[in-house]
Chain A
Amino acid sequence: MNRRKLLQLLGAGGALAAAGPLASGVVAARTRGRVVVIGGGFGGATTAKYLKRMAPGLQVTLVEPASQFYTCPFSNLYLGGMRDMQYIAHGYDELRNRYGVEVIHQLAEDVDAGSHSVRLAGGEELGYDRLVLSPGIDIDWDALEGYDEEVAQDIPHAWKAGEQTRILRQQLEAMEDGGTFILTAPENPFRCPPGPYERVAQIAHYFSRHKPRSKILVLDAKDGFSKQGLFMDGWNTIYGDMIEWVGRSDDGGIVRVDGRERAVETEFGEIHHADVLNVVPPQKAGFIADRAGVTDASGWVPVKPETFESREVDDIYVVGDATIAAPMPKSGFCANAQGRVVAAAIVASLEDREPLAPAWTNTCYSVLAPDYAVSVAGVYRLVDGEIAEVEGSGGLSPADADADFRRREVEYAIRWYNAIAMDAWGTTGLPRALS
């Protein structure tokens, strides 16, 4: 259906209701249309919710195979023993019951952009006027020799939270004191740029309490990383020399994983054996983005910056880690921010209006210990048609901050998690009585 036909169907020759704000109260009750959202993570859940808040007359269907979504944010805290797994799990009751989103727990298998339809694994076809893809990442299984889905059962990536994270923790618990944990970090771009470095701090926290003679080695395909100075100061201050980081120039890049030996080989042929090995592998947009024809040769999705509509295919919008949105990082925070902007852009397009000027923010906390966190923030706007950081804003926690500052950033990290989880799924993950 094209826009004109849709508008005729809506009876839009007269006056469409004024579009609503993001708050409840004034809403565009008369805006009609069907929007299918694929993926129930930060980006997809947020988009579905705000579509219904802005235009309750829309038919919004969320397609997500899992009945519980495990967040990557705070999954490192689970590894460190600071948060239970059940408290990073979120369901879809609020979207269903409070906002009237139809939630289908199936895999979306294919998209036919021509006929505007999505095929589910069960064979059912869902038609759409606008489609939102929030597919997150897939591991690029072709990118690293020796690392495939089977090997990943024993040498976890734990870069999609849930079962993989559990495997890694069980291995850490089974490891003897004095063992070596190796994490390999990929080249940019990848999901959660500070994630690998928070992870080793959390594992150091666990080791320092339970296995204090153990060592941690980070083999990095890069010569620098997010919040590097803050991380290295923090590692050193809290954990002494437990964590060693090797950048690419010092032969930190790996070219092969040996699943049987639990080892990795570097570019210059050195073999590193681990007691527990965590490969954070190269990644790409979730597969449904490929099926929809919105990815480019990089494996990620180019989008129109103002609306996050695909540059390749009309009426398909993409949010979150799958997109090429630099300088915005691939973070849950950004996916959430993009989700609201996309919801507003879709409502505008269905009402045949110009989109609002987008505004996004990001704040990434990394929790290195129960009393020590650091952050990076960014404020983004459209400048000359491209996404740009607002000059003079954002940036890192100060290098010389005192202990109280670092402790307060832990408190804010926890409160941030509660707020964003509540915003996306309507649950903090924690029982509310305990808050």
Chain B
Amino acid sequence: MPDSWKFVGAVLTAGLLFTSVHSHAGDGISYQQASLLAATCFACHGTDGRMAEGIDPLAGRSYQALRATLMAFRDDQIPNATVMNRIAAGYSEEEIDAIATYFSGLPAGRE
């Protein structure tokens, strides 16, 4: 497991990052729009965020973990991040929420 996920796991356990109530992507971003936003992750994480030889699979991870990780990347709170801090900084909290909802709703498994 990459360090970033361990870190988030630890933070979640400690309850530090978990400040937001789960809200669905439907709040402002349609499911179709969410899928197009989430697709910006596919080039590294595989189609549907589901590829063992890519970078950390995303499909089927919990909404909470995805959202917390992306927000932590966005706020540059993940130690030793290489590029995800730079990328996540380009997404609004609402977009991150939509992306987390989207990937958490997909079944895990190999592309």
Interface residues in chain A, defined as those with a beta carbon under 8 Å from any beta carbon in chain B = 19-24, 333, 336-337, 340-341, 344, 356-361, 363, 375, 377-381, 389-390, 392-395, 397, 404-405, 408-409, 412, 415-416, 418-420, 422-423, 428, 430, 432, 435
Once the chains are docked, how many angstroms separate the CA of A423 from the CA of B55? 13
Judge whether B44 and A394 touch: CB under 8 Å.
no
Given A358-B36, A422-B111, check contact A375 B47 (CB 8 Å): no
Once the chains are docked, how many angstroms separate the CA of A380 from the CA of B106? 25
- B108 close to A (CB within 8 Å): no
Judge whether B42 and A393 touch: CB under 8 Å.
no
Judge whether B91 and A379 touch: CB under 8 Å.
yes
A-B contact count (CB 8 A): 127
Residues on A with beta carbons closer than 8 Å to the beta carbon of B39: 22, 340, 359
Judge whether B32 and A418 touch: CB under 8 Å.
no
Question: Closest Cβ of chain A: how far from B50's Cβ, in Å?
Answer: 10
Judge whether B86 and A432 touch: CB under 8 Å.
no
- The DSSP consensus for interface residues of chain A is mixed
Judge whether A341 and B36 touch: CB under 8 Å.
yes
Judge whether B51 and A419 touch: CB under 8 Å.
yes
Judge whether A415 and B83 touch: CB under 8 Å.
no
Query: What are 18 sample pairs from A and B whose C-beta atoms fall under 8 A apart?
Result: A21-B32, A357-B33, A359-B36, A360-B40, A377-B83, A379-B40, A393-B86, A393-B89, A393-B90, A395-B86, A408-B80, A409-B83, A415-B55, A420-B44, A422-B46, A422-B47, A423-B46, A432-B53
Against A, the Cβ 8 Å flags (1 = close, 0 = not) of B82-99 are: 110011111100010000
Judge whether A435 and B46 touch: CB under 8 Å.
no
Interface size class of B (residues with CB under 8 A): 35 or more
Additional 11 contacts, C-beta under 8 A, given A336-B43, A412-B55, A422-B53: A21-B32, A337-B43, A357-B36, A361-B43, A375-B82, A393-B91, A412-B83, A419-B43, A419-B54, A420-B43, A422-B54
**Chain B, Cβ-Cβ closest to A392:** B89
Residues on A with beta carbons closer than 8 Å to the beta carbon of B95: 359
Given A375-B83, A397-B82, A418-B53, check contact A22 B44 (CB 8 Å): no
- Smallest CB-CB A-B distances: 8 pairs: A379-B90, A393-B90, A419-B54, A21-B35, A390-B90, A393-B89, A435-B53, A418-B53
Judge whether A21 and B31 touch: CB under 8 Å.
yes
Question: Closest Cβ of chain A: how far from B59's Cβ, in Å?
Answer: 9
- B38 close to A (CB within 8 Å): yes
Once the chains are docked, how many angstroms separate the CA of A359 from the CA of B92? 12
B51: which of A19, A22, A361, A422 is its contact (CB, 8 Å)? A422
Residues on B with beta carbons closer than 8 Å to the beta carbon of A363: 43-44, 83, 87
Question: Closest Cβ of chain A: how far from B93's Cβ, in Å?
Answer: 13
- B45 close to A (CB within 8 Å): yes
A361: which of B48, B52, B53, B87 is its contact (CB, 8 Å)? B87
Judge whether B90 and A394 touch: CB under 8 Å.
yes
- B17 close to A (CB within 8 Å): no
Once the chains are docked, how many angstroms separate the CA of A397 from the CA of B42? 21
B43: which of A23, A397, A416 is its contact (CB, 8 Å)? A416
Judge whether A394 and B87 touch: CB under 8 Å.
yes
Given A393-B86, A394-B90, A422-B47, check contact A416 B55 (CB 8 Å): yes
Given A21-B35, A419-B43, A435-B52, check contact A409 B82 (CB 8 Å): yes
Judge whether A23 and B106 touch: CB under 8 Å.
yes
Given A361-B90, A409-B82, check contact A423 B42 (CB 8 Å): yes
Residues on B with beta carbons closer than 8 Å to the beta carbon of A420: 43-44
Question: Closest Cβ of chain A: how far from B70's Cβ, in Å?
Answer: 13
Q: Which of B65-111 contact A (CB under 8 A)?
A: 80, 82-83, 86-91, 95, 102, 106, 111
Question: Closest Cβ of chain A: how far from B7's Cβ, in Å?
Answer: 15
Judge whether A22 and B53 touch: CB under 8 Å.
no
Q: Which of B8-38 contact A (CB under 8 A)?
A: 31-38
Question: Closest Cβ of chain A: how far from B32's Cβ, in Å?
Answer: 5
B48: which of A23, A337, A380, A392 is its contact (CB, 8 Å)? A23
Once the chains are docked, how many angstroms separate the CA of A435 from the CA of B110? 13
Once the chains are docked, how many angstroms separate the CA of A361 from the CA of B99? 14
A415: which of B37, B53, B91 is its contact (CB, 8 Å)? B53
Once the chains are docked, how many angstroms separate the CA of A339 from the CA of B83? 22
Judge whether A22 and B55 touch: CB under 8 Å.
no
**Chain B, Cβ-Cβ closest to A380:** B90
Residue with the highest number of chain A CB atoms closer than 10 Å, among B42, B45, B111: B42
Given A409-B82, A432-B53, A435-B53, check contact A344 B36 (CB 8 Å): yes
